Chains A and B, each alone.
Chain A
Amino acid sequence: DGGITQSPKYLFRKEGQNVTLSCEQNLNHDAMYWYRQDPGQGLRLIYYSQIVNDFQKGDIAEGYSVSREKKESFPLTVTSAQKNPTAFYLCASSHPGLAGADEQFFGPGTRLTVL
C-alpha cells in the first residue's frame, strides 16, 4: 500500500524538551511538507522540501527544524524554542498533477501536547 505514515499518533512533551515527529512516504514523491493545524485556523506551513538535502522555511518555522537526508523521510523536530507547540501536526507529500498543480497527500497526523 502506498501512503504516508506519521509517528507517533500522540506525543507528550515536557517544557524545555525537544521532540521529533516522524514522517515517511513510499509514494516516490519529491516534495514533502510539514503543517501545523490549530482549531479554527487553516493549515499553516512550517517547512517544505522539494528535493533531498534541500528544504525551505514556511510561514511559521521559528522553533522548528527539519532534515531531508532521504527521499522517503522528512522528520520534524519541535525545539524548546517553540513557545506554543501544542497542536496537530500534519505531514504531506506532493507530485505534479496532470495540468501542473501540486496535489498534496497527507499523513494521519501527530497530536503533540505540552505538559
Chain B
Amino acid sequence: EDQVTQSPEALRLQEGESSSLNCSYTVSGLRGLFWYRQDPGKGPEFLFTLYSAGEEKEKERLKATLTKKESFLHITAPKPEDSATYLCAVQEGTGGFKTIFGAGTRLFVKA
C-alpha cells in the first residue's frame, strides 16, 4: 500500500539550531515528491518538487533532498518565522497518478 510517513510529529528548536525533517515513502513508482509549508488556519504553500534520487533544491534556509525511500527537509539556522507545519506529499507514477500526503511535522522555533 502506498504510504507517506513524516517524522518527528513535532520539533522544537532554538533560533539558529539547524535540524532536519524526515519523509519516508513507499509508492508504486515515483512521479514526484512535494514539500509544503502550512501556517495555522491557512492553506499549504508549495515549496519544492523533487523528481529523482539524488536531487536537491534550496530556498532561503530550506534545502530538500531525495533518496529512493525518503526525503529530508534541512533547515539551516532557523528563525521564529520558520515555525509552521511542513507537509510532504508523494505522487505515484502508475495508475491514476494519485497524490498521498503525510500528516506533517510541526516545527516550533524559539527566539
| A: contact size bracket | 20 to 34
Q: How far is the CA of A100 from the CA of B100 in the complex (A)?
A: 16
Please report which residues of chain A, range 33-50, place their CB below 8 angstroms from some CB of chain B when the two chains form the complex: 35, 40-43, 45
- Binary CB contact string for chain A from 66 to 106 against chain B (1 if under 8 A, 0 otherwise): 00000000000000000000001010100001011111111
Complex contacts, B41 vs chain A, CB 8 Å: 88, 109, 111
Binds A, one of B12-20, B43-51, B56-64, B75-83: B43-51
Say if the beta carbon of B99 comes within 8 Å of chain A: yes
Please report which residues of chain A, range 12-71, place their CB below 8 angstroms from some CB of chain B when the two chains form the complex: 35, 40-43, 45
Complex contacts, B43 vs chain A, CB 8 Å: 4, 6, 90, 92, 106-109
Q: State which of B44, B99, B102 has its C-beta within 8 Å of the C-beta of A90.
A: B44
With known contacts A101-B31, A101-B32, A109–B99 Cβ distance under 8 A? no
**How many of chain B's residues have a CB under 8 angstroms from any CB in A?**
25
Complex contacts, A100 vs chain B, CB 8 Å: 31-32
Complex contacts, A109 vs chain B, CB 8 Å: 41-43
Give the total number of A-B pairs whose CB atoms are below 8 A apart. 62
Say if the beta carbon of B103 comes within 8 Å of chain A: yes
Say if the beta carbon of B86 comes within 8 Å of chain A: no
Complex contacts, A90 vs chain B, CB 8 Å: 43-44
Quote the shortest CB–CB distance from A22 to chain B (angstroms). 14
Q: Can you list 11 A-B pairs with a CB-CB distance of less than 8 A?
A: A43-B87, A92-B43, A97-B32, A100-B31, A101-B32, A101-B91, A103-B32, A106-B36, A106-B43, A106-B45, A107-B43
Residue ranges of A at the interface with B (Cβ–Cβ < 8 Å): 4, 6, 35, 40-43, 45, 88, 90, 92, 97, 99-109, 111
